[in-house]
Amino acid sequence: MCDLYTHFHSLLHTHHRKGTRCILGFSGGVDSRVVLELLNRYRTETQLEFLAVYVHHGLSANADQWQQQCQKWCEEKLIPFVAERVQLETGSGISLEASARDARYAALAKHVGEGDILLTGQHADDQIETFLLALKRGSGPKGLSAMAQHAPFAEGTLLRPLLQVSRKEIESYAFSHQLQWVEDESNADTRFDRNYLRHQVVPTLSQRWPSIYQSVQRSAQLCAEQELLLDQLLESKLAQAIHIDGSINIADLASESELLRNRLIRMWFSNQQQVMPSRDHLHRLWHQVALSQQDANPQLNLRGVQVRRFCQRLYLVKEHSDISHWQHSLTLGDALLLPEQLGTLTVAENQSGTIALTNEQLHQLYVVFNPEGLKAHPSDRGHSRKLKKLFQELGVPSWLRRRTPILMCGDCVVAVADLFVDKAFIGQGCELIWDKQL
């Protein structure tokens, strides 16, 4: 490896654009400690704006001390510093390491604005470990692509400037520049697969084959290139199958071979930023959901998401809380913040609107999500119907029927957002606005 700073400068200069920030995921370990030093040197030469973010997982009794130490190092160099405390997801069948990783990236994403660069300290040894873990799981080319040196992330880019640098080279740089860093005691626990590879397997491989770092990097890159090529070749097929609401057409998938169909489904998951389904998941998704009886309401529960079928299309539905019992008053002109990131709802004055409300009625407005027991009379229908039946007739998927805001006045349905206004309230003077953009 050439001079470490020259290598770092070249990579960052390629990706950084004027006016954007760099955000460093700063754990205080030797790798991120070295990146902090390199980034600070780059800042003095270019007036770069950057922020160091420490993510506190609460897994170690030393985490508070590490956070204080990281903050001290940043204060000494007048580097802006932020600490994020996260709550790890447990009991969902995922490993502690995966849960910590997901929580860390979610916390870091909050600080990455449009065009910003997130820098992390993964290095060549991490790459070998990731590659071998994917091999152990029986992953295909996508999993064996391991980690990319740069990739889209949040509204910006994730850059791993040390990915081609070995841990030995990083430690050598730290020693030569008299840097201090924190040591996570859990890194020595070989009960964790990654630590077992780090301490027992990779040293043996690198001793036998010193070029193993370059070989793994090359194999990962070749796998990544093959994945990218397949995506490019199938992009038009996927676009043809995808509906405007993000669902995918079952008929389009059924017309393809099993191999091609599975590839399109994986691409669909990737486009919606979901964890890749396993081969078993793909089989169950197709046979238990896509091909289930027409009158069934099938679903497949995966990590953080459900695969559902409606009107011969498959949907990826993220896990959400039950808001059936939620209700809130609504004041004319005020934007009501809805739960579960469902946006805002406003009753606004508008002489061209389709809702007529008296002054007395305006003071009785409230919003609910539970259609149970409610009836309404859309203006284009001959009589009133239960909301449950109207949702079916209007093609509202079952999982959205308790996530669609219902405007009430006393015991009467005034309107169902995005669907209809009740005949008794048809007129002018007001409009109902559901802004789903948050």
| Annotated binding-site ranges for ATP | 27-32
Sequence-ordered strand ranges (E) for 203-298: 248-249
Q: Give the 3-state secondary structure of residue 103.
A: helix
Please give the Cα distance from 37 to 28 (Å, whole number). 11
- Tell me which residue of 4, 77, 76, 2 sits closest to 34, measured CA to CA: 4
Q: Give the 3-state secondary structure of residue 261.
A: helix
Query: Residue 18 corresponds to which tokens in the numbers above?
Result: 């004027």
418: left (phi over 0), alpha (psi -120 to 50) or beta: left
- Which residue positions form the known binding site? 27-32
Nearest-5° angle of CA 36, CA 27, CA 24?
45
What are the backbone angles phi and psi of residue 255, rounded to the nearest 5°?
Answer: -80, -5
- Tell me which residue of 323, 123, 83 sits closest to 213, measured CA to CA: 123
Write the CB contacts of 358 (distance below 8 Å, at least 6 apart in sequence): none
Write the CB contacts of 121 (distance below 8 Å, at least 6 apart in sequence): 25, 27, 29, 31, 32, 34, 35, 160, 162
- Helix 30-46 and helix 167-176, axial crossing angle in degrees, nearest 10: 60
Q: What share of the chain is helix, strand, coil (3-state, %, to 5)?
A: 40, 20, 40
Query: Residue 45 corresponds to which tokens in the numbers above?
Result: 């030469």
Q: Which residues of 33-60 are buried (b: 16+ CB within 10 A; e: fewer)?
A: bbbbbbbbebbeeeebebbbbbbbbeee
Query: Residue 405 corresponds to which tokens in the numbers above?
Result: 């805001």
Count the residues in the chain.
438
Q: How far is CA 297 from CA 301, 320, 395, 397, 399, in A?
A: 13, 18, 14, 10, 10
Alpha helix stretches (DSSP H) within 30-189: 30-46, 63-76, 96-109, 124-136, 141-144, 167-176
Query: Residue 203 corresponds to which tokens in the numbers above?
Result: 């040293």
Sequence-ordered strand ranges (E) for 342-405: 344-350, 365-368, 375-376, 385-386
